[in-house]
Amino acid sequence: MPTGANNKKKYTYIWVSAIILIFGIFAVYEITKRVKGGTVVENDRMSVPLKNTKVGFVVNQGEKRRVPDFSFYNQDSVLITNEDYLGKVYVVEFFFTTCPTICPVMTKNLVELQETFKGDEDFGVASFTINPRYDTPSVLTKYAKKYGITDEDWHLMTGNQDKIYQLAQEGFYIFANEDQDAPGGFEHSGMFALVDKKGYIRSRKDEFGNPLIYYRGTITEEQGVNSDGETQQITILKEDIKKLLAE
């Protein structure tokens, strides 16, 4: 092959390599910028479509669903009502301290949210025990210490069992029931509800345009997917909390 052809081929390789290098540097820069900006999330690789990220209202019979009135004592024996949460974005759960199955994972996920929004006075958690006969304020205090619950706006509440069950089933449509055949003697949903600053229950929509209504609380971000093929929703819950905090 003539010398001129060799030189031409050599320069072609140099230009191709330069272009690849430039695009590589740009890609690394973009990824680094997104990491620093906090925009690289699990949804970059999970199945939840990003186009459905608007946090809409949960509607029932044409009415926006609001949290009903409630009044229970927290782990510090302080009376807490729904009005104490007005002006805050908060997550609701129903649990019990002796739960041997899903509750520890749910609490771990809520502690993750606590750390994510640490220092934000407009964020809170409302945890209602479905075993109030055992879960007294002193028991709830020990539970809080065990799991590192430190947020002053995270109230673990106890009180009349019938009223708590009514709040769960009629207020949030979250299942809770005493069942001696269930692990720990109680059966309940592992879902979280999200409430905005005005007391409305909020949710994003799924890929089919239907509201999620609830967020899975029994799968961690680290786990990703459970044995049933269900995807964790703590990442999208974090995103939706941020959106509601900014409203």
| Phi, psi of 185, rounded to the nearest 5 degrees | 90, 0
- Residue 137 annotated in ligand binding: no
Predicted pLDDT at 108? 98
Question: Residue 80 is encoded by which pair of tokens?
Answer: 């807490």
Contact 241, 117 (CB under 8 A): yes
Q: What is the pLDDT of residue 154?
A: 98
Between β-strands 176-178 and 186-188, what pairing exists: parallel, antiparallel or unpaired? antiparallel
103 is in an annotated binding site: yes
Beta-strand ranges (E) seen in 42-116 are 56-57, 59-60, 63-64, 71-73, 79-81, 89-95
For the stretch 177-215, pLDDT in tens is 999 999 999 999 999 999 999 999 999 998 888 899 999
pLDDT tens, position by position, 38-83:
333 333 333 444 345 789 999 988 999 999 999 999 999 999 999 9
Topology given in CATH for the domain delimited by 56-246: Glutaredoxin (3.40.30)
DSSP characters over 130-154: S-TTT--HHHHHHHHHHHT---TTE
The rounded mean pLDDT for the chain is 85
Q: DSSP letter for 230, please.
A: P
- The annotation status of 188 as a binding-site residue, yes or no, is yes
Q: List the chain domain ranges.
A: 8-38, 56-246
